[in-house]
């Protein structure tokens, strides 16, 4: 994160960004009850910045649309994210950023679960447990330093 | 089971914030609530409605996670993410902060008074449980720091009539403590939950304990003295606690709180799926292998996670709940036999 420190993963693979979403005529109709779908959730999180590279989570393949599952009827959203390397120390911070982005963007009725893609991180269980503990997430977000780092990840890039 | 739990009142208690916890005073006339807005509010009944009697602010710099009344009802303790515990003294309808207990390294998660009123316990994300002694001059002294848990300690509760303390932790275990030679020591570790244990509560006798967890189950534990007829093995002269029942398949998300009514024996749970459930013990079941039935289920009790449930200590069937939506719910439970 800080300038001059050695990067954990110096040469990450970079993936193609997906194009703009095509709006259907129904979606453009304000009267039409339009449930939130996977693509909309993906659009909310794909532009989140990686904490150590000037790249988005989508460009690093940390988030993919196929790993987003939303059920508007049940008000549930589940996102799996894939750290670029199995020992990535930023995994919790990345997961927290995804969680905060969704907490801020979605209606409050949604239950948001953020997990590491199974088998892609050495401390998968510990990170998942931490991200699933709303009391610890609440305490973390009262920490102004951490909140600043999260907000940096969430600040939009063009 | 239809309509056995009815809503009496919904109160917008901590607007634009979470309501984390509610606690009845010993007389059951006042309800204290705490929230993410750093405040504590005291609620009382006036006719059919519940009104805010006082707002306790300026005690804490961060979220007030839980509150506890002293057994005499004249003091309120508040545990905060700011790493301190405040002691408030009641003066008619007002409260003043008389002491701030410091020492924990980070967030204080819970506070509880012993039945005698002479001891107070706090626990923290720093993995420790502290026991404080209160003298006649209202001075608080830490008499013991117990570092038995390996992770964040979520909850502490005292036995209803003995000086035994129970704690629940992110390390998936429940621990029981007793004073031994001027120090407080862990006497038993209750293992079985597969994830964070959010809360524990003793039944009226204190011989049984209910725990609820992020693993979506409730477990009932029972104390067995050495030489018990059931042949439960004890280590030396200390009693041992054994899990005698697991309630699984009832909750669809993390269970954040459990309250075991000392008047009726009904057990209420607060769940991350927005529901409140009440369980009753089957009267004909074996006390060493009890079974419980779901006696009430309100699926959308709140608009968001239910964080706490608390039975009124004097009025049978009166239940308070609170939620991430900032509201308090007051419910009336009527068993349907």
* Mean pLDDT value across chain B: 96
- Residue of B62, B195, B325 lying closest to A142 (CB–CB): B62
Question: Using a CB-CB distance cutoff of 8 angstroms, which residues of chain A are in contact with residue B253?
Answer: 111
Q: By the 8 A CB rule, do B272 and B305 touch?
A: yes
Query: pLDDT value at position A158?
Result: 42
Q: Which one, of A11, A15, A119, A130, lies nearest residue A62 by Cα?
A: A15
Mean pLDDT of B282-306: 96
- Cβ neighbours for B182, distance < 8 A, ≥ 6 positions apart: B143
> Which chain B residue's Cα is nearest to A136?
B125
Q: What is the pLDDT of residues A57-113, one digit of tens each?
A: 999 999 999 999 999 999 999 999 999 999 989 999 999 999 999 999 999 999 999
CB contact under 8 A, B18 and A138: yes
The answer for A 97-116 residues in CB contact with B (under 8 A) is 108-109, 111
Q: What is the DSSP letter of A66?
A: G
Q: How far is A139 from chain B (nearest CA, A)?
A: 7
Query: pLDDT value at position A5?
Result: 58
C-alpha–C-alpha distance, residues B63 and B33, integer Å: 12
- Residue of A129, A134, A139 lying closest to B81 (CB–CB): A139
Residue carrying the six token digits 């893609």: A117
CB contact under 8 A, A142 and B305: no
> Is the ipTM value over 0.90, yes or no?
yes
Q: Does A132 touch chain B (CB under 8 A)?
A: yes
Best B199, B253, B299, B302 member to test A by mutation, with max A CBs in 10 Å, is B253
Q: Does A136 touch chain B (CB under 8 A)?
A: yes
Query: pLDDT value at position B293?
Result: 96
Best A104, A106, A113, A138 member to test B by mutation, with max B CBs in 10 Å, is A138
Task: Give backbone dihedrals phi and psi of A105, rounded to 5 degrees, phi first.
Answer: -95, -35
Query: pLDDT value at position A12?
Result: 81
How are beta strands A76-81 and A111-116 bridged, if at all? parallel
Mean pLDDT of B154-172: 97
Q: What is the pLDDT of residues B68-106, one digit of tens each?
A: 999 999 999 999 999 999 999 999 879 999 999 999 999
Query: pLDDT value at position B3?
Result: 79
pLDDT value at B197 more than 60: yes
Q: How many CB pairs under 8 A join A and B?
A: 38
C-alpha–C-alpha distance, residues B251 and B216, integer Å: 6
């Amino acid at each position: 994160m800080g300038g001059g420190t050695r990067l954990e993963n110096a040469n990450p693979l970079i993936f193609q960004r997906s194009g703009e979403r095509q709006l259907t005529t129904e979606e453009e109709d304000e009267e039409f009850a339009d449930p939130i779908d996977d693509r909309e959730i993906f659009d909310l999180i794909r532009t989140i910045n990686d904490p150590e590279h000037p790249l988005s989570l989508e460009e690093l393949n940390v988030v993919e649309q196929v790993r987003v599952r939303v059920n508007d009827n049940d008000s549930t959203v589940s996102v799996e994210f894939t750290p670029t390397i199995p020992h990535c120390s930023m995994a919790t911070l990345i997961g927290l950023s995804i969680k905060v982005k969704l907490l801020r963007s979605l209606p409050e009725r949604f239950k948001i679960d953020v997990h590491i893609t199974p088998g892609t991180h050495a401390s998968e269980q510990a990170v998942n447990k931490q991200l699933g503990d709303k009391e610890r997430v609440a305490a973390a977000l009262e920490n102004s330093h951490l909140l600043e780092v999260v907000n940096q990840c969430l600040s939009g890039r063009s | 089971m239809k309509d056995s739990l009815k809503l009496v009142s919904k109160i917008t208690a901590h607007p634009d914030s979470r309501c984390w916890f509610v606690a009845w005073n010993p007389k059951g006339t006042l309800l204290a609530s705490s929230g993410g807005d750093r405040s504590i509010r005291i609620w009382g009944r006036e006719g059919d409605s519940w009104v805010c009697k006082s707002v306790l602010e300026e005690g804490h710099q961060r979220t007030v996670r839980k509150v506890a009344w002293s057994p005499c009802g004249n003091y309120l303790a508040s545990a905060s993410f700011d790493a301190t515990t405040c002691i408030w003294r009641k003066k008619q309808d007002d409260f003043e902060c008389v002491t701030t207990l410091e020492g924990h390294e980070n967030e204080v998660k819970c506070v509880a008074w012993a039945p005698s009123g002479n001891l107070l316990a706090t626990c923290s994300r720093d993995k420790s449980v502290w026991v404080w002694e209160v003298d006649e001059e209202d001075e608080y002294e830490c008499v013991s720091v117990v570092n038995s848990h390996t992770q964040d300690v979520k909850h502490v509760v005292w036995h209803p009539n003995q000086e035994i303390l129970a704690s629940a932790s992110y390390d998936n275990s429940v621990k029981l403590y007793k004073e031994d030679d001027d120090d407080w020591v862990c006497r038993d570790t209750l293992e079985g939950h597969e994830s964070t244990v959010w809360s524990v509560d003793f039944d009226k006798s204190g011989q049984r304990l209910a725990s609820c967890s992020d693993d979506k189950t409730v477990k009932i534990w029972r104390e067995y003295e050495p030489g018990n007829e059931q042949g439960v093995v004890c280590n030396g002269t200390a009693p041992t606690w054994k899990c005698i029942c697991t309630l699984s398949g009832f909750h669809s998300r993390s269970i954040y709180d459990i309250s075991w009514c000392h008047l009726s024996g009904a057990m209420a749970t607060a769940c991350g799926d927005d529901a409140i459930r009440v369980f009753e013990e089957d009267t004909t079941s074996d006390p060493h292998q009890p079974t419980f039935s779901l006696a009430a289920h309100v699926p959308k009790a709140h608009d968001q996670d239910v964080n706490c449930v608390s039975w009124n200590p004097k009025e049978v069937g009166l239940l308070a709940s609170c939620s991430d939506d900032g509201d308090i719910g007051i419910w009336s439970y009527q068993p349907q036999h």
